[in-house]
Amino acid sequence: MATNTTVLLVSAAVAALLLAGMLAVVVYKTRTRQRHVKGETIRDQAEGSARHARYQEALADVYAVKAHALEVEVDIKTARALRLQRQAAVYRSEAATSRAQQNEQSSRVDQLYAAPQTAETPRLAG
């Protein structure tokens, strides 16, 4: 019986070692799979963050273009306002010249009517 017991003990020890080896393989594969899953999750999060950063950069570019367009529009309106102010100054100058000429003509007419009536100056029929 000693031989049977020894064979049984050796068989049990081999079975225990095989079971421990199989358990070790299962644990190793499980950990490896978990690391891969965790790595994929981290990679997906990084990709999502990169996508979000690209979106924000694109949005910043859009707003920069809009701001530049508004600056150009302001420059155009400023130039238009300056042109209109110059034109207004020209019109005011022309109006002042015209008024001065009109006042001069009115003064000459007033002088003609205010001149004393002499024998040489004919009277207007009226």
Q: How far is CA 34 from the centre of its chain?
A: 43
Residues 102, 108 contacting (CB under 8 angstroms): no
The confidence score (pLDDT) of residue 73 equals 97
Which has the higher per-residue pLDDT, 118 or 8? Answer: 8
- Torsion sign, CA atoms 22, 28, 32, 34: positive
Residue tagged 């690209």 (tokens): 54
Residues 117, 123 contacting (CB under 8 angstroms): yes
The confidence score (pLDDT) of residue 48 equals 95
Residues 33, 40 contacting (CB under 8 angstroms): no
Name the pTM for this structure.
Answer: 0.50
Residue 18 pLDDT greater than 50, yes or no: yes
**Average pLDDT of span 101-112:** 90
